[in-house]
């Protein structure tokens, strides 16, 4: 999903691009229906960051900046998993395979995500599903026709 599509689908939120370079390593931030995205990112990076911040909008409660708190780490993971499913999903992996993507670079480009985001998503899917999983083949056939 592209950055522009994510913005359109969530137009009720206040999504702004600002300079976050003064905050070490921060690419995005969510608070009370407001999302800040670092303006100096690529469009693909912005899409990945926005997907995660949307995950926070829909799943996070309270201030979770203190990642030493296990509850906050769980909320962070929940937001990231939502972003991975929104941007990639198991069907996206199947589509990339059917599109004959040969490596992570091809796959990331096809899915319109960064390689880092894709690697993290694949690792989380491995943790969740193990080395293999089954998906509803009828759903795959239906999605492939679209």
pTM, to two decimals: 0.89
**Does residue 141 register a pLDDT over 80?**
no
**Does residue 59 register a pLDDT over 70?**
yes
Q: Give 112's pLDDT tier (boundaries 50, 70, 90).
A: very high
Tokens of 55: 């995950």
Higher-pLDDT residue of 140 and 133 is 133
The CA-CA-CA angle for residues 21, 72, 87, to 5°, reads 65
pLDDT, tens digit (0-9, with 9 covering 90-100), for 4-55: 999 999 999 999 999 999 888 899 999 999 999 999 999 999 999 999 999 9
User: Exposure string (b/e) for 96-134, b if CB count within 10 Å is 16 or more?
Assistant: beeeebeeeeebbbbbbbbeebbebbeebbeeeeeeeee
């Amino acid at each position: 999903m592209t950055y522009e599509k994510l913005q359109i689908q969530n137009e009720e939120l206040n999504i702004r691009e600002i300079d976050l370079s003064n905050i070490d390593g921060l690419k995005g931030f969510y608070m009370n229906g407001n999302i800040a995205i670092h303006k100096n990112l690529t469009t693909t990076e912005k899409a990945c960051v926005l997907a995660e911040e949307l995950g926070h909008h829909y799943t996070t409660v309270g201030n979770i900046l203190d990642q030493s708190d296990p509850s906050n780490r769980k909320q962070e993971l929940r937001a990231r998993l939502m972003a991975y499913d929104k941007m990639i999903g198991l069907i996206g992996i199947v589509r990339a395979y059917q599109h004959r993507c040969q490596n992570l670079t091809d796959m990331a480009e096809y899915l319109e995500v960064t390689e880092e985001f894709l690697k993290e998503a694949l690792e989380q899917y491995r943790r969740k599903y193990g080395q293999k999983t089954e998906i509803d083949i009828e759903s795959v056939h239906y999605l492939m026709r679209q």
